[in-house]
Structure 1
Amino acid sequence: MSTLPFSKISEPLNALLVAIGLVTVAALTTPDMAGQSRLILKVLLAGIWAAYVLQLIETLIVHRTKAVRDRVLEIAVDLLAVLVPLAAFLFVGGRDQSLYCAIWLLKPLRGSTFFRLLGRVLSKEARNLLGVTSIFGIVLFGAALAAYLIERDVQPDKFGSIPLAMWWAVVTLSTTGYGDEIPQSFAGRVLAGLVMMSGIGIFALWAGILATGFYEEVRRQDFVRNWQLVAAVPLFQKLGSAALIEIVRALRPRIVPAGSVICRKGDTGDQMFFIVEGRVTVATPQPVELGSGSFFGEMALISGEPRSATVSAVTEVSLLSLYSADFQMLSSSSPEIADVIRKTALERRGGTPKA
C-alpha cells in the first residue's frame, strides 16, 4: 500500500508543529486577549490537531499487524495527541480547553532515536540506577529525621515534623539551597554540610552511570554498523572472526555525497579507501570507475608517494578508510589481506595508475 503524505511528517516539521502549538497554548492563557485573536489561535490549534488526526489514520492503515506492534510508542503518542485535546473539547469548558494540547509535548518522542537510545540505557542500567536511588532515599529520610531532632525546638514552624524537614532535606541534598529554611544551631549546620557533600556524591554516581551507559550503547551500535560494512567488502569475507574484529576496529566509515572529490592528485596520502556501496571515478587519461568491493589510494600507504590521480564520487558512496598506522597493524595481523593490497598496487603501478 502506498504511503500517505501525513505519515512522513518529518521530525523537524513535527517539532515545528509542536512549537507552534505550545506557543499558541501559552498565548491563549493571556486574560486580556481580544476575542478575534483568541479565535484565530484556536483555529490554528484545530489545524494542527487535524494534521495529527490524518497522521494517526495513515499510521493505523499502513502499519498493521506486526508493524503496529513494533511501533507501539509511536501509535500511543499519536493517539494521545488526538484523543486528549478531543476529550478536552467535549468535556472541559472554559479557557482551559486549550491547555490539554500540551500533550503534544510527547510528539518529539515518536520515532526519536535519542529517546530509544535513552530507553535502552535506562533498561540496561536499571539495577545500578535503582541502587543509587535507594541510597538517595535513605540519605534523604535520614537527613530529614536528623534535622527534625536538631531543629524542632529552635524552628518548630519549619522543622516541627519530619514531613516539614523533608523539604529542607530535598533542597539541601540536591545542593539547590533556596535559603527559605536554614538550620540555626551549630549541629544543624554541620548536618547541612554533610548532606550537601552526600548529594554531590549521589548525583555524580547517577551522572557517571548514565554517561557510561550511553558510551557503551553508542560504541556497541557503532561496532555493529562497522561490522556490517566491513563484512560487505569481498576482500574481508574470508577472514575469521578474530581478524575481522581487528579490521572493524581499524576501519573508519565515511559517507561521501555524489560529485564530491575524495582525494586529489598530488596530495599527500595518509589513508586508503574501500568501497562498500556506490561508484567512484578515477581521473586518469582513460577514466576508470570502481564499484562496491573495490579499493583505491593504497599507493600512498605502500610507497609514500603523492596521490597519482583524483578520485571523485559518481554516486553517493559509502567508504571505509584505513589510515597508514592501521595499515601496518593490518599487515602484521592479516598478511594475506596486505599481500592482496600490495599486489594490486604493483599491478596498478605497472599499468594505469589509479590513485
Structure 2
Amino acid sequence: MLRLFFSKIYSLLNALLAAIGLLAVAALTTPDLTERASLILEIVLFGVWAAYLLQLFATMVLHRATGVRDRSAVVADVLAVIVPAAAFLFVGSRDWSLFCAVWLLQPLRGSMFFRLMARVLTNEARNLVGVTTIFGIVLFAAALAAYLTERDVQPDKFGSIPLAMWWAVVTLSTTGYGDEIPQSLAGRTLAGLVMMSGIGIFALWAGILATAFYEEVRRQDFVRNWQQVAAVPLFQKLGSAALIEIVRALRPRVVPAGTVICRKGEAGDQMYFIVEGRVSVATSSPVELGSGSFFGEMALITGEPRSATVSAITEVSLLSLFSVDFQMLSSSSPEIAEIIRKTALERRGAIPHG
C-alpha cells in the first residue's frame, strides 16, 4: 500500500514536471520576449531535462535490480532525454526548445493505455484496414467526380484530381472549411452524397474502436475479478462453470483504511467477501476478520437491519454480493449458499454480526 502511495505521488510529480517544461516551451515562442526572460525559461528547461535524466538512471537501476521491464516507461524516459539533447546540439538556438514537446509523453509514462491501444489495433487490424480501404476508394471517387463536374466552372480549384482531392477530404470528413464549394447542381448533389458517406465511414471507425476497447477492458476486468474470487477460500473448490457465475455476480471494491463499510441498524442489500486486508466488527467484544472471511450475510438471509458496524482497519479489497445475485447463487451453487447460511446462523447464536 505504501508502494502504491509513493507511485501515485511520483506520477503526479512527473506530470507536474512535464507541465512546467511544456509551459516554458510555449512561453519561449512568445514574440518580443526579453533576453533575460528567455534565459530564465531555458534554465527551467535544463532543470526539467536534468530531472528526467536522473529519472532515466533510476529507471534503469530499478529494472536491473528487479528484473521487471516496463518498455513504455523506458521509451518515454529515453526520448525525454535524448530528443532535447540532440536538438540542443544539432538544431538552431531558436527552435531547439520545441523538441522538448516530447515531454508530452511523460504523463502517460508507464500507462496501460499504450498496451491497451496496441491490443485493440492488433485485434481489429483487419476491420480497420477494410474501413480505411473503403475510405480511400470513396475519397478518390469523390475527387474524380468533383473534377468532372466542376473543372469547367472552377478550374483554379477543381482543375485536376489532386486539386479536387482537398475538397474531397474536407467534405468526406464533414469538416467543411468552405474554401472550395461546388457551384453546379451536380457538384452540390455530389457533395451531399460524399458527406453522408463520410458520416457512415467515420461511424464505422468509431464503432469498431469503441467496441474493441469495451471488450478488452471487460476482458481485463473479468481476469482481475477471477483472480480475486479465486483467492477466497470459500470458492477455491468450485469448478470453472460455477466460478464463472460467481465472477459475474460479485462486484469488486477497494475501501480505504478507516472507512465504515456498513453501520448497525441500517438496511442491508449486500454482503462482502474479504480478498485482502482486515476489518473490525464493532460488537461488545470487537472481532477482526481477515482475508477469506465474509460478513453482512445476515441482512441477505433474514432481511433484518445490520446488527453491527463494520470498519476497515487497513485498506481492504472486497467482493460484494447483492441480494438478487445471492438468490441466483443459491440456485447455481447451493453448497456455497448453504455454507453462508450456516455461518450466519452460527454467528447469530454466538456473535451479533451484520
Tell me the TM-score normalised to structure 1 length: 0.94
| CA deviations over 1:87-138 (Å, ceiling 9, x no partner) | 1211222311211211222223321122322222122111111111111111
CA RMSD of aligned residues (A): 1.8
Q: What is aligned with 2:337?
A: 338
Moved over 6 A (4+): 6-9
| CA deviations over 1:206-237 (Å, ceiling 9, x no partner) | 11011101110111111011101100111111
1:82 is paired with a residue whose SS is: helix
In the TM superposition, residue 8 of structure 1 has moved relative to its aligned partner by 8.9
Structure 1 contact 7–58 (Cα < 8 Å) conserved: no
Structure 1 contact 229–276 (Cα < 8 Å) conserved: yes
- The residue identity in structure 2 corresponding to 1:192 is A
Distance 2:101 2:305 in 1: 60
Residue 206 (str. 1) matches residue 205 (str. 2): yes
Structure 2 contact 72–111 (Cα < 8 Å) conserved: no
Q: What is aligned with 1:18?
A: 18
Distance 1:124 1:283 in 2: 50
1:168 is paired with a residue whose SS is: helix
Q: What is aligned with 1:37?
A: 37
Q: What is aligned with 2:260?
A: 261
- The residue identity in structure 2 corresponding to 1:107 is Q
Distance 1:224 1:98 in 2: 44
Distance 2:66 2:116 in 1: 22
Distance 2:285 2:104 in 1: 58
Distance 2:11 2:201 in 1: 35
Q: What is aligned with 1:46?
A: 46
Structure 1 contact 277–291 (Cα < 8 Å) conserved: yes
Distance 1:56 1:177 in 2: 45
Residue 61 (str. 1) matches residue 57 (str. 2): no
In the TM superposition, residue 141 of structure 1 has moved relative to its aligned partner by 0.6
1:95 is paired with a residue whose SS is: coil
Q: What is aligned with 2:234?
A: 235
Q: What is aligned with 1:164?
A: 163
1:43 is paired with a residue whose SS is: helix
Distance 1:249 1:83 in 2: 47
Q: What is aligned with 1:28?
A: 28
Structure 2 contact 149–186 (Cα < 8 Å) conserved: yes
In the TM superposition, residue 14 of structure 1 has moved relative to its aligned partner by 2.1
Q: What is aligned with 2:195?
A: 196
Distance 1:287 1:63 in 2: 44
2:33 is paired with a residue whose SS is: coil
- The residue identity in structure 2 corresponding to 1:46 is F
103-112 or 331-340: which moved more?
Answer: 103-112
Structure 1 contact 300–306 (Cα < 8 Å) conserved: yes
In the TM superposition, residue 272 of structure 1 has moved relative to its aligned partner by 0.7
Q: How does 1:1-355 map to 2 (within 5 A)?
A: 10-64=10-64, 67=67, 70-355=69-354
Structure 1 contact 18–104 (Cα < 8 Å) conserved: yes
- The residue identity in structure 2 corresponding to 1:72 is R
| CA deviations over 1:156-198 (Å, ceiling 9, x no partner) | 1000111100000000000011110001111111100000000
In the TM superposition, residue 65 of structure 1 has moved relative to its aligned partner by 9.6
Distance 1:152 1:255 in 2: 65
Distance 2:7 2:296 in 1: 43
- The residue identity in structure 1 corresponding to 2:224 is R
1:10 is paired with a residue whose SS is: helix
In the TM superposition, residue 10 of structure 1 has moved relative to its aligned partner by 2.4
In the TM superposition, residue 7 of structure 1 has moved relative to its aligned partner by 9.8
Distance 2:65 2:353 in 1: 51
Distance 1:212 1:119, change over 3 A: same
Distance 1:132 1:174 in 2: 14
- The residue identity in structure 2 corresponding to 1:334 is S
In the TM superposition, residue 244 of structure 1 has moved relative to its aligned partner by 0.4
Distance 1:74 1:255 in 2: 26
Structure 1 contact 223–248 (Cα < 8 Å) conserved: yes
Distance 1:7 1:79 in 2: 20
Distance 1:294 1:212 in 2: 37
- The residue identity in structure 1 corresponding to 2:176 is G
- Runs of 5+ consecutive residues of structure 1 not aligned to the other structure: none
Number of matched residues? 350
Distance 1:289 1:7, change over 3 A: closer
Distance 2:10 2:133 in 1: 40
Structure 1 contact 272–297 (Cα < 8 Å) conserved: yes
Tell me the TM-score normalised to structure 2 length: 0.95
Structure 1 contact 7–55 (Cα < 8 Å) conserved: no
- The residue identity in structure 2 corresponding to 1:85 is P
- The residue identity in structure 1 corresponding to 2:141 is G
Percent of aligned pairs with the same residue? Answer: 79
- The residue identity in structure 1 corresponding to 2:30 is T
327-336 or 30-39: which moved more?
Answer: 30-39
2:95 is paired with a residue whose SS is: helix
Distance 1:163 1:66, change over 3 A: farther
Distance 1:315 1:203 in 2: 48
Distance 1:265 1:62 in 2: 47
